Structure 1
Amino acid sequence: MGMRRQHIGGAFLVVLVLLGLFLAAKTLAEIKSYRYIGGGVPVSNTVTVSGEGEIFAVPDIATFSFSVVAQKPTVDEAQKVAGETINKALAYLKGKGVEEKDIRTENYSAYPRYEYQQAPSQPCTLYGCPPGKQVLTGYEVNQTISVKVRNTKIAGELLTGVGEFGVTNISGLQFTIDDEDALMAQARSKAIADAKAKAEALAEDLDVRLVRIVNFSESGGPYPIYYAKGLEVTDGRGGGTAVPPEIPTGENKITSNVTITYEIR
């Protein structure tokens, strides 16, 4: 019995020693890591400044979407009608210079349509009506197309044009810039220069010297222009003439906000 207690006590002591070594090694590793996170710079020896940079640019692309909905007794008929309408609209867009790579299907669905009907042979009584049932009435096909227009001057004309082929829900017109990364880089450079100028002025006022950057963060981004309302067009089948809407593109603002922390001495 005594030997067993000695063995248990020895094993417990070994576990404690190993646990102590593990915790010591982990603590040492954590301490060493502080040399690389913020460079071990004391909080009291830093200053933090912010800067903002803005770039304005005229949008060079426009995007919009439209849908085609067809309801027919069979799914084949609905798909055929929807396909014919889509093909006419796509042929029109390509004829106006829209490239095939800039046209894509956003959504496609085909599903049955049901209608709740009462049984005609069982009329209602004073105690209520007999239960009805869901009756298949046909099928609906819905396809949504997204279009990118690289010639923004004809965006309004294209909106009117596709509407004349019986498409529905023409929406989501948005003016953006194709190469936003290049403009974002310019805005970032302006923001950094703004922050640096503030840091240098602050260092002069405090009679200290900027040593190095110990932290940097950025936020911001492009702000596209949306035209989500007032884009209904006449389909031309009611005798009216669809007039292309005038849609000003304006300018997009790309903003970068940076925060920089400097070590000072």
Structure 2
Amino acid sequence: MKNIATLVLMIISTSLMAQNKAEHTVDVVGEGIVNIVPDEVTITVRVENTGKNAKELKQENDRTVNNVLAFIKSMNIDNKDVSTEYIRLNKNYEYNTKTYTYSANQAIAIKLRDLTKYEVLMNGLLESGINRIDGISFSSSQIKSLESEARKKAISNAKMKATEYASVLDQTIGKAVSISEYRAVNTPMPMYKTMAMDSEGGSSQQTIAPGEMEVSVTVNVSFLLN
């Protein structure tokens, strides 16, 4: 019985010593950046009308939206790339005339996977009845592979930094004991003309410049210090 108690005490003591033995690490931040020209764009447009009769206004908006959707379909854009963002019907009070008016809004988002069709699409949307452009955002169809490449660059950068720190101290780094990641995609701000200029020009005009988007991954890595 005494031998068992002694063995238990030895195990506990060894465990406590292991816990109290702090690991020496070198903690670094690594960054990986990949740049690419976007090959996709998501355009958010709106059909908006105002009037005094809510029912008639809604019907007018619906007719315009139907024309817009028919045009989008004629562009052979996949249904999965077209979505209704919201539908709103608001009642507004005019203080000057002391009457009520209504505003009907419907926003549609279109993801265009072929940027060469942008001008034709925008001109057609204007002709079919949209009267607001809420914004556009660029993206890349290769985002997954770009993120993977950025991660590898970030880890490589972290390892390089840790190795440099350790070498100055005549030491080496061991295995990584912890890794945490922060990922960011910085899309370019589009440069485009106003709707009025678009509607006056032909499809040969260039009204946007996609620029370059940046995929950035930052990692925090702790390496054992030998």
Q: TM-score range by the shorter chain?
A: 0.7 to 0.9
2-structure distance, mates of 1:49, 1:113: 57
What does residue 253 of structure 1 align with?
214
TM-score w.r.t. the length of structure 1 is 0.70
Instruction: Letter of the 2:37 partner, please give it.
Output: V
Instruction: Letter of the 2:219 partner, please give it.
Output: V
1:223–1:252 contact (8 Å) kept in structure 2: yes
Give ranges in structure 1 of 5+ residues lacking alignment.
1-27, 119-133
Deviation at 1:258, TM superposition (A): 1.8
1:234–1:242 contact (8 Å) kept in structure 2: no
Match of 1:154 among 98, 117, 122: 117
Give ranges in structure 2 of 5+ residues lacking alignment.
1-11
Question: How does 1:1-265 map onto structure 2 within 5 Å?
Answer: 41-42=22-23, 45-116=24-95, 134-136=98-100, 138-227=101-190, 230-233=193-196, 240-243=200-203, 245-246=205-206, 247-265=208-226
TM-score w.r.t. the length of structure 2 is 0.80
Q: Which has the larger radius of gyration?
A: 1
Aligned residue pair count: 211
1:159–1:244 contact (8 Å) kept in structure 2: no
2-structure distance, mates of 1:213, 1:192: 10
1-structure distance, mates of 2:150, 2:51: 53
1:211–1:262 contact (8 Å) kept in structure 2: yes
> RMSD of the alignment, in Å?
2.8
1:216–1:258 contact (8 Å) kept in structure 2: yes
2-structure distance, mates of 1:168, 1:58: 29
Q: For residues 56 and 117 of structure 1, do their structure 2 counterparts lie closer, same or farther at Cα, with a shift above 3 Å needed? A: closer
Deviation at 1:200, TM superposition (A): 2.3
2:155–2:219 contact (8 Å) kept in structure 1: yes
Instruction: Tell me the percent identity.
Output: 27
Instruction: Letter of the 2:34 partner, please give it.
Output: I
1:54–1:254 contact (8 Å) kept in structure 2: yes
Q: For residues 233 and 242 of structure 1, do their structure 2 counterparts lie closer, same or farther at Cα, with a shift above 3 Å needed? A: farther
